[in-house]
Structure 1
């Protein structure tokens, strides 16, 4: 098999996603929300499953260190296994929101499907507490997480790696917007 046409098609998926201007206004809105959260001394809480959990962890660090917005993620193995054991896996992230959320905090949820029960329940819990919910999804346009979000970022793709990488690019763009430039010292 020659990989050149395959790779051309593969990277075309990224080009198409990045050429779409639809998320620009939402990226500005998320920047503004993160800046307001920072100014109020509140925090961003990140969560997801699998690779989305890894993105959530990365974001919690970069939003804190570079963007100067206090941020946490709910990927600590002890926390997840304890809450999953005691409350059920589908309730673990909602319980984390229940224990960690303060008024004015923002919950950022990352889920390609937007249907993971634990992520959806976390959004429901946040909404019940009056918190803003920001979501990053893909796959089907009609997913429960989008409907529970104040600000939703959706990518029209079923290619998991493409969706996850675009989510990461969008999130890192907001970090760099908070910094005010793309190139800066990180130490």
Structure 2
């Protein structure tokens, strides 16, 4: 065993800190009820695919990047048509005309068809634009799937039909786990973990 393992140039032993940090991931992956929620999202995606519908993804900041990744993987690997609302022209147009807090709801209004589902990603679960989109989707009978963190009683979670929640305020950990859960459902749609992507 190397006694210097985990020791940085400053002489700090990062081992204990990294052990604690990775424990945050381990705890999140073992979240109560997570398997049932993964199965529920898988089944919803299959239903959307069978009725020729689509998944609509949206988020802010890093969550927007996760939304884009999810939309591509669900479409390409999962064979479930998906779109995201991260095109700059769309965001700036709708924000300019209706306010940034309404751009996601307006995008859902313009793009949604009956039988679609909306996937919203927000670490805080309090983003006004995500909340407005969830409320609009529910008014249309569109199922809402959310990925949140922070407080258990965050409002986006309460507006969701399927909610993926992590009891953590460590943004990078929450976002990393959100990505793991999203891509897990993609692999469930494929039916295996290892496969050719081209």
State TM-score, norm by structure 2: 0.93
The equivalent position to 2:100 in structure 1, one of 89, 99, 114, is: 89
Question: Alignment RMSD, CA only?
Answer: 0.7
2:163 alignment partner in structure 1? 152
In 2: Cα distance, 1:112 partner to 1:26 partner:
18
1:69 Cα offset (Å)? 0.4
Matched, 1:118 2:129: yes
Could you tell me how far 1:19 is from its partner in structure 2?
A: 2.6
Task: Tell me the TM-score normalised to structure 1 length.
Answer: 0.98
CA deviations 1:99-156 (Å, max 9, x no partner) are 0000000000000000000000000110111100000000001111011111111001
CA distance in 1, matches of 2:13, 2:132: 45
Which residue does 1:22 correspond to in 2? 33
- How many aligned residue pairs are there? 187
2:141 pairs with 1:130: yes
Q: Is the 8 A contact 2:56 2:119 kept in 1?
A: yes
CA contact (8 A) 2:31 2:166 kept: no
**Partner Cα separation in structure 2 for residue 17 and residue 97 of structure 1:** 30
Determine which structure has more spread, i.e. the larger CA radius of gyration: 2
In the alignment, structure 1 residue 98 sits paired with structure 2 residue 100 = no
Residues 162-181 of structure 1 aligned to structure 2 (within 5 Å): 162-181=173-192
Q: Which runs of 5+ in 2 are unaligned?
A: 1-11
Q: Where does structure 1 lack aligned partners over 5 or more consecutive residues?
A: none
Aligned to 2:83: 72
